[in-house]
Amino acid sequence: MKKTIVFLVVVLLLMSSSVLYGAGIKTPDWTHMHGDANHTGYSSHELPPPLKLLWNKESGSPPNGNVVACWDGETPKLFTVFANTDDPRSPELESELVCLEPSTGKIIWKYDNFNEYLKASPVIFERKNGNKNLLFVSTPLAGDSGDIILHCIDLEKNIQWKRKLDGDSCGNSPSVKNGKIYIGTELYRRGESYGGFLYRIDAETGTIDWKNELPNAPHNTSPLVYDDKVLVTCSNLKNGSYDGRWLGAYHYGSVWTIHNESDGKLIRTVDYGNMRMDMFPILHDDEIIISGLTSSFYTVIREFPPGSGQKFRFTEEKPTNHIMRIDPDDFSIIWRKYPRIYESRSGLKTEIYAHNPIVSGDWIIVGSDQGMVYAYNKSNPLKNWEYQLAQGSNGPQGVRLCMAASNNYIYLNTGDTPPNCSSCRARFKIIDIENGNELWNYNLSAPGQCGVTIFDQYVYTFDKDNLYCFTRGEEAKLMVDPVEINLGEIPKGKKEATQFKVWNGGAGYIVGKVKFDRPYMTISSDQFMQQSDPKTFICNIDTTTLTVGQTYNIPILVDCSTTGEQETVIITFTVTGQPKLEVTPIEIDFGEVERGTYSEEDCFIDNVGEGTLKGQITSDSSWCVIEYVKWEGNHKKLIVTADTTMLDFNREYKANIFFESNGGTAKVVVKIKIKQEGPKLRVYPTELIFTDVTWGDQITGTFAIDNAGILTLEGVLEPSEEWLELSDDSFSITDEPENYIVKIDTTKLPENETTTAEILVKSNGGNRIVNVSIQIKPRPPILKITPPTLFFNNCVPDEYYEEILTISNIGNGILSGDVTISSDCPWLKIGQQDFAIQSAPLKIRVRVDTEGMTKGTSYTGKIIVTSNGGDDEVGVVVVLTERQKRTIELWIGSKQAKVNGEPHDLDWPPYINNGTTMVPARFIAEAFGCIVDFYPKHVAVEEIYITKGTKFITLFIGQNRALIDNEEVKLDVPAEIKSGRTFVPIRFISEVFGADIKWDSETKKVTISYYDD
């Protein structure tokens, strides 16, 4: 069945490829590997193994760039950089941009219209007219003189524009987004960098939009552009040398600089430690992913040469590999992993060095200089793998890995080699993205260089002399996996089994033999004849006769007679003494606990024998949770957790934890008892959210309290803010849940803000919090006019009189409107006829001309105000009268009153409040010949306006204060509303208008007398 599945998968892959090409569906362009946040070495198109070499072409010594490819109409084209071997003076420094046919490698054209060096990859971008163009930078090498030129040409090498850039060198490719080009240049003198520049350039014209200085060199790192930000990595570069690692350069710290995209201004810098050399950040799924080497530098004093007695100070470096996922908004670390540092037999350690991560689906893939590939699964942090390249006597046979990835495969060029291994050759490989297993490989002619490109029906890669083109292969191909098996430690006297697989990665059959010469190992078979289905070889090792403490390496030669290929599988292990398992304690009793809680206890695993102890742990009860299921080590602490959420009340439970190891077995008994059930608080919902609320509205919400246990649940409700009013402040619940209403008075809350509060629910069954959030939208403009009536008293004919009318906006926004006069008032004039105000009140001058008026008469008119915040009218009264005496008589508790001796009936009698006589506001005001008005109209009264002549009084309901002509005074008793009527203190009103007031205690009579002008 398995053979059938493998065969069907291969057939379907071949069919899908033929359908793709036969239908003329174009595969995606490969525009730019480094610095492009939407590419980063990933392709949705893939070529399953095996591959075959279609052609290779001499390229000289290529730079640190890559092949880019695109469709020119219906024609595919490749673009890359070759060394200009025609110039014998400096072939390693001269270079040229070439365009090739993808299927043959034939050169279509060359472009060398520059005198400098092409160090980075060209970039393909599309202009506004839909035509594709190429961008690339010619630059002097760091420390040399020359100009940095940014070139823009079309796909036929016609120059569109050129732009000279400031700086000493440029090792990065430009980034292009929304018609703008972003590129950094570096300043480099005397072996170290001291700054740089960041540019934004118009892609259509080459015009520089802005240029800003950088704190250090953007060495080999393209700008990352997203949202309204530009991110650049700046490295503090210094010259280095080979010191046991092939460094080429040091840097002592580097930072990210974040710039405003619109003007290039520096927003902030972020430092994640001494990130060494080039970092290639990528943006993927709203997060930034980086990989790199963090270095710690310290000073040591050593004798040099040894035995000379001379001591010198040396700077040493301690590297730490890491991979990080960063929040692009605040640059905080979401997730960080520290890959292990692999140490070879020669003492060389791996370092993640100058490699950008690649994201394919859930996988983050990173290569290291010393021959490791690390893969982390974002959806499952426990799912990861490492791929170790073959090791030689001088260390890893591959450094500076170059990769590309598709959905299922990683295409890997093992890259440079150590400097003392000039005869080594790079390998081009395909490995499985899910587990790192090698599926296919090909030996290149020289050490590798540059990147890997997936385009159309082809995969391209470089070594130091050639550009290679691979396509789907049909020949037979020996495949072996794994080729390195490290069994770690094996106790003496124990038999250990391991396995490897052999299969045909090409077409037809492969036939061969398996050979080894170790008497302490047996193998399940010594020959194979395979198609694509793998054959598994079981290797059994008996350590009875082996030496404790010694490391053994067993080479197994897999010899394919069909293709002449050979592969060696190396099995490595170390013989140790016999470990012995000890687990303490052997019993854990959690005692009596509440149901629904989690309890924890420690359990210790120790090796009281020799060697390394390793094993696995299981539990026979789901409520008994163990921290991990496998371990390796001679002392481990295990946390045992009792999860009581699914257990029954008033019962005892017992579980067993079993330990199986290479040092024996053990068992730990776990006991727990669940208490009798009591009340348990449950509140829902725990959030009340109100949005887009109008200020002044009365808002209500509801939440429920339920008893999820037994017995009676009792408690109290405690709101954190006074603007929260609850329907009840306590509860007692046995069975049915109860609802509680939350009332919110929005007049106590600020406008255009979100205000939060909490309601603490405390009970004998636990505590909960109900979070309340309310967003008040801003009020519209609201018109307010003071005073409501303008009085011109004691006027004489043929004179001018003036008063001030105030228009205010007690809402938000702009209040605008018009001021007009009723048509029957030719004697009335206003100083302004329209207005537009926001917060400051507007004062309008009102003039009365009494020419032609008759003494002893009165005249009335209206000022009409219309606005987008409501309309209102202001009465204007002009009185030409003589002085008259008036008398007002009132009796406490009686609805009878007299004004100038004439009886009047009151709606409600006067009364005494705290020693002060309170009278109906409208009656007393009109008796004084005043105008009374209330605000707001048609709703609950908040303010009272009483106007007589030039006197203007404002009283506030429930407040011990008043305004007399805008000057504040204190009251003994405030105005108040009683039985739907508004009452005011009579003595205060009388004294304001100059009246005399007398009190008769026997008859409880109040007499007020005044002269009315």
pLDDT per residue over 668-679, tens digit each?
999 999 887 788
Give, in order, the Cα–Cα distances in Å from 179 to each of 125, 126, 201, 224, 258.
9, 8, 9, 15, 20
**pLDDT tens digit string along 829-864?**
998 999 999 888 999 999 999 888 888 788 999 999
19 exposure class (CB count in 10 Å sphere: 0-12, 13-18, 19+): exposed
465: left (phi over 0), alpha (psi -120 to 50) or beta: alpha
**pLDDT tens digit string along 414-445?**
775 554 456 677 888 888 888 888 888 888 88
Q: Which residues, in sequence order, are bridge partners of residue 304?
A: none
Residue 297 to residue 317: CA distance in whole angstroms: 5
Residue 731 to residue 991: CA distance in whole angstroms: 54
The predicted structure's pLDDT at residue 347: 54
Give, in order, the Cα–Cα distances in Å from 875 to each of 153, 764, 861, 947, 949.
79, 65, 6, 11, 12
Give, in order, the Cα–Cα distances in Å from 44 to each of 61, 232, 355, 359, 409.
30, 27, 21, 11, 11
Give, in order, the Cα–Cα distances in Å from 171 to each of 61, 64, 186, 631.
16, 9, 8, 47
Please give the structure tokens belonging to residue 508: 């037809």
Mean pLDDT value of segment 572-589: 93
The predicted structure's pLDDT at residue 63: 54
Between residues 820 and 398, the one the model is more confident about: 820
Cis ω for the linkage preceding 381 (within 30 of 0): no
Residue 690 to residue 641: CA distance in whole angstroms: 40
**pLDDT tens digit string along 907-923?**
889 999 888 899 998 88
Please give the structure tokens belonging to residue 732: 């007692």
CB 176 within 8 A of CB 164: no
Residue 324 to residue 897: CA distance in whole angstroms: 88
Mean pLDDT value of segment 182-187: 92
Residue 163 reports pLDDT greater than 50: yes
Give, in order, the Cα–Cα distances in Å from 435 to each of 409, 438, 567, 624, 858.
10, 9, 20, 32, 102
What predicted TM-score, i.e. pTM, was given to this entire model? Answer: 0.49
**pLDDT tens digit string along 740-768?**
999 998 888 888 889 999 999 999 888 99
Task: Kindly report the three-state secondary structure assignment for every residue of 142-188.
Answer: CCCCCCEEEEEEECCCCEEEEEEECCCECCCCCEEECCEEEEEEEEE
Mean pLDDT value of segment 692-709: 88
Between residues 336 and 953, the one the model is more confident about: 953
Mean pLDDT value of segment 720-725: 91
Residue 575 to residue 874: CA distance in whole angstroms: 106
**pLDDT tens digit string along 508-527?**
778 889 999 999 999 999 99
Q: Which helix (H) or strand (E) holds 927?
A: helix 921-927
Residue 332 reports pLDDT greater than 70: yes
Token look-up 């300043």 returns 187
The two beta strands, 391-392 and 738-745, are unpaired
The two beta strands, 249-260 and 208-214, are unpaired
Residue 502 to residue 937: CA distance in whole angstroms: 93
Instruction: Please give the mean pLDDT across all residues of the chain.
Output: 83
Enumerate residues 6+ apart whose C-beta is below 8 A from 306: none
Alpha helices, DSSP H only, in 429-538? none
The predicted structure's pLDDT at residue 289: 84
Token look-up 């887009």 returns 692
Cis ω for the linkage preceding 797 (within 30 of 0): no
The predicted structure's pLDDT at residue 4: 34
Is residue 588 very low, low, confident or very high in pLDDT (cuts 50, 70, 90)?
very high
**pLDDT tens digit string along 607-617?**
998 888 889 99
Residue 713 to residue 709: CA distance in whole angstroms: 8
- In this structure, the number of other CB atoms found within 10 A of the CB of residue 838 comes to 12
The predicted structure's pLDDT at residue 783: 92
CB 807 within 8 A of CB 783: yes
Give, in order, the Cα–Cα distances in Å from 664 to each of 13, 488, 492, 614, 671.
49, 18, 14, 10, 24
774 closest CA partner among 685, 722, 686, 701: 701
Residue 357 to residue 350: CA distance in whole angstroms: 16
What are the DSSP E strand ranges found in 172-244? Answer: 175-177, 180-189, 192-202, 208-214, 224-226, 229-239
Collapsing DSSP states into helix, strand and coil, what is residue 13?
helix
Collapsing DSSP states into helix, strand and coil, what is residue 374?
strand
Residue 483 to residue 428: CA distance in whole angstroms: 16
The two beta strands, 566-576 and 484-491, are parallel
Q: What percent of the chain has pLDDT over 70?
A: 85
- For residue 19, the number of C-alpha atoms closer than 13 Å in the C-beta half-sphere is 6
The predicted structure's pLDDT at residue 459: 94
Residue 63 to residue 60: CA distance in whole angstroms: 10
Residue 292 reports pLDDT greater than 80: no
The predicted structure's pLDDT at residue 421: 59
Q: Which helix (H) or strand (E) holds 15?
A: helix 2-22
Q: Which helix (H) or strand (E) holds 879?
A: strand 872-880
**pLDDT tens digit string along 62-103?**
556 688 999 999 999 999 888 765 444 444 456 889 999 999
Q: Which helix (H) or strand (E) holds 924?
A: helix 921-927
Residue 246 reports pLDDT greater than 70: no
Tally of helices (H runs) and strands (E runs) in the chain:
3, 85
The two beta strands, 687-694 and 766-777, are parallel
175 closest CA partner among 359, 331, 37, 29: 37
**pLDDT tens digit string along 524-557?**
999 988 877 899 999 999 999 999 889 999 999 9
The predicted structure's pLDDT at residue 58: 86
Residue 266 reports pLDDT greater than 50: yes
Residue 238 reports pLDDT greater than 70: no
The predicted structure's pLDDT at residue 488: 87
Residue 782 to residue 870: CA distance in whole angstroms: 6
Between residues 732 and 83, the one the model is more confident about: 732
Measured at the CA of 547, the angle between CA 546 and CA 553, to 5 degrees, comes to: 70
Mean pLDDT value of segment 781-785: 91
- 581-584, strands of its sheet edge to edge: 581-584, 598-607, 635-643, 624-626
Q: Which residues, in sequence order, are bridge partners of residue 453?
A: 460
